[in-house]
Amino acid sequence: MMVSALIERELTRVGAPVRNGVFVAVVGPSGAGKDTLIAYVRERLTDDDHVEFARRVITRNSDGATEDHDTLADAAFVDAEASGAFALSWEAHGLRYGIPASVDDAISVGHVVVANTSRGVIPALRARYAHVAVVEITAAPEVLATRLAARGRESRGEVLARLARTAPHDLSGPGHALIDNSGTPEIAGEKFLAVLRRSVAYSDVSGLV
């Protein structure tokens, strides 16, 4: 996974760190249920104008089965990246991912922005935004394997082997919450919702100081 070199130049352009609001980075392995939990809290926060859910740009067609995102071809993504269209961009698993630059404006006016990101970009996020909450969604290895095998792309044994090779990331730091989603989405979803409500309360206060 490689974070775009453009980020360092963009940090200077936007006068980082961007203050007032909170960037909530949702991270975790495939199969942990990040999209499911994001959908859970989004449905319960439809009336809260202070919480926004970033729509990612990915160099992959949207299949309608998982995340609803915008799609760009590789060349178009590179052009958009060079023009400053993204607050954050990175590469993983042969794809390019981007978070729209409009996120900076939302944070600067005290909003809470939720986005599905990569664990490897957390240092860049902490450099760009003054207030970052990291919500790490996990699940037991056997649960991850079962969920991923159900997608039909790999066997359960192949999935377990891949999970065993996954390199660990140190996500320790301020605002880190670990949520186990091995059970029903409602249990983990309510914990996630509590994190977001604390973030809203924090952004309300931080904008005054």
The answer to the question of whether 34 is labelled as a binding residue is: yes
Residue 150: enclosing H or E segment and its boundaries? helix 141-150
Gap between the Cα atoms of 20 and 204, Å rounded = 8
- Of 183, 171, 177, the residue nearest 196 (C-alpha): 177
Under 8 Å between Cβ of 68 and 89: no
Residue partners of 145: CB distance under 8 A and separation at least 6 = 31, 156, 159, 160, 163
The answer to the question of whether 33 is labelled as a binding residue is: yes
The answer to the question of whether 31 is labelled as a binding residue is: yes
The answer to the question of whether 30 is labelled as a binding residue is: yes
The answer to the question of whether 98 is labelled as a binding residue is: no
Binding-site residues for ATP sit at 28-35
Residue set of the binding site: 28-35
